[in-house]
């Protein structure tokens, strides 16, 4: 038995050359490398600034010219005092102790971020399940209202939010100004519309026959929701948790209006005090605090990574 094989010779004119490789594939690698450098450079610059002494940052132009962890130790000094450089009117500089409840800022940020993200995702999932599976009067109008409300900038409601919290705080101080619970309630209400509409599309990708089969077996709506639907939509839940946590922990405007006492502030508001004074800007402490603030976000992203990719693409490929 003879096996015949046809060999096709590649003409010399079509042989791979460096120029031909660059025109076909190389330019894509070049663009990818440029995007990586563009994304990584700010992170490297922040790390370099955080590792430079506060007295040397203005006279330093090279990255990692001096490496010291004094800024991190200063922030992690739980005594509440931080050495900060100040400049007098005569131009003299010196180091003084300043109040720095960094540990409180860190705890406040994590508590507010986790509570808001879990609470908003829980409420959004309930609303999305109702819009997706139940048929009731006003369902279509409710969905359209969620879309229209998201068109208005959130800055338009700052005055109203401040006024409402100020009035509520006179009766219930725990929900008023300088209250973490009050800020959490505002965040949860603001993220309910976006989270609901995002989950609504993903809930629609789950076949309704699953619900019907569970009902035939005697399952209630609660059992179907918690035992069947939520495990199937875990990717979109992970995406919403991550997006909500990042949005809450990085918010400055709303948190700075509601939280005015230093011990109740979040990292986004508290770190701004290091660079608020034009005569004593401490960029080293600011960047060190930014690096420490990013650690929970990076950890949460790595923990939810396997769900995030499928959550972002699942709604686009399922019919």
Query: Is the distance from CB of 169 to CB of 177 less than 8 angstroms?
Result: yes
Quick one: pLDDT at residue 115?
92
Quick one: pLDDT at residue 93?
44
The residues of the chain scoring below 50 in pLDDT are: 1-2, 7, 10, 12, 79-80, 82-97, 315-319
Q: Is residue 71 part of a domain?
A: no
Q: Is residue 3 part of a domain?
A: no
Dihedral sign (CA 154, 160, 164, 169) = positive
Q: Is residue 157 part of a domain?
A: yes
Q: At 214, which CATH number?
A: 1.10.3720.10
CA separation (Å) from 15 to 11, 19, 229? Answer: 7, 11, 55
Q: Is residue 51 part of a domain?
A: no
Q: Is residue 10 part of a domain?
A: no
Structural domain for 203, as ranges: 102-317
Name, in order, each residue with C-beta under 8 angstroms of 152's C-beta and a sequence gap of 6 or more. none
Q: Which residues share a beta bridge with 96?
A: 84
| Torsion on CA atoms 304, 111, 185, 243, rounded to nearest 10 | -20
Closest-CA residue to 121 (of 304, 302, 313): 304
Q: Is residue 94 part of a domain?
A: no
Report the run of H or E that residue 93 belongs to, with start and end: strand 93-99
| Class of residue 305 by CB neighbours under 10 A (exposed 0-12, middle 13-18, buried 19+) | exposed
In the structure encoding, which two tokens stand for residue 19, read together? 């120029």
| Class of residue 225 by CB neighbours under 10 A (exposed 0-12, middle 13-18, buried 19+) | middle
Give the separation between CA 264 and CA 260, rounded to whole angstroms: 7
Query: Is the distance from CB of 146 to CB of 197 less than 8 angstroms?
Result: yes
Query: Is the distance from CB of 233 to CB of 199 less than 8 angstroms?
Result: yes
CB atoms closer than 10 angstroms to residue 101: 19
Based on the structure, what is the number of domains in the chain? Answer: 1
Q: Is residue 209 part of a domain?
A: yes
Q: Is residue 185 part of a domain?
A: yes
Q: Three-state DSSP class for 82? A: strand
CA separation (Å) from 227 to 5, 25, 135, 214? Answer: 57, 48, 21, 10
Give the separation between CA 33 and CA 296, rounded to whole angstroms: 27
């Amino acid at each position: 038995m003879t096996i015949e094989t046809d060999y096709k010779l590649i003409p010399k004119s079509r042989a791979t050359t460096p120029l031909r490789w660059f025109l076909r594939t190389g330019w894509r690698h070049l663009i990818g490398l440029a995007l990586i450098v563009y994304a990584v450079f700010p992170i490297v610059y922040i790390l370099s600034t955080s590792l430079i002494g506060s007295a040397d940052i203005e006279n330093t132009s090279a990255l990692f010219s001096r490496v010291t962890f004094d800024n991190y130790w200063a922030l992690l000094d739980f005594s509440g005092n931080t050495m900060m450089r100040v400049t007098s009117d005569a131009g003299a500089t010196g180091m003084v102790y300043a109040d720095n409840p960094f540990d409180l800022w860190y705890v406040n940020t994590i508590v507010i971020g986790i509570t808001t993200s879990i609470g908003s995702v829980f409420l959004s999932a309930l609303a999305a399940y109702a819009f997706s599976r139940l048929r009731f009067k006003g369902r279509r109008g409710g969905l359209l209202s969620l879309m229209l409300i998201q068109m208005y900038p959130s800055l338009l409601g700052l005055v109203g939010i401040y006024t409402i919290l100020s009035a509520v705080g006179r009766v219930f101080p725990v929900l008023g100004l300088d209250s973490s619970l009050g800020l959490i309630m505002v965040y949860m209400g603001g993220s309910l519309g976006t989270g609901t509409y995002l989950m609504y599309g993903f809930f629609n990708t789950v076949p309704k026959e699953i619900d019907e089969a569970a009902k035939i077996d005697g399952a209630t709506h609660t059992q179907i929701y918690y035992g069947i639907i939520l495990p199937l939509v875990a990717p979109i839940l992970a995406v919403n948790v991550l997006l909500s946590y990042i949005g809450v922990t990085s918010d400055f405007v709303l948190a700075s209006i509601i939280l005015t006492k230093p011990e109740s502030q979040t990292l986004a508001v508290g770190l701004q005090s290091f660079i608020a004074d034009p005569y004593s800007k401490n960029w080293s402490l600011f960047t060190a605090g930014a690096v420490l603030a990013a650690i929970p976000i990076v950890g949460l992203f790595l923990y939810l990574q396997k769900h995030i990719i499928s959550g972002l693409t699942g709604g686009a490929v399922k019919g």
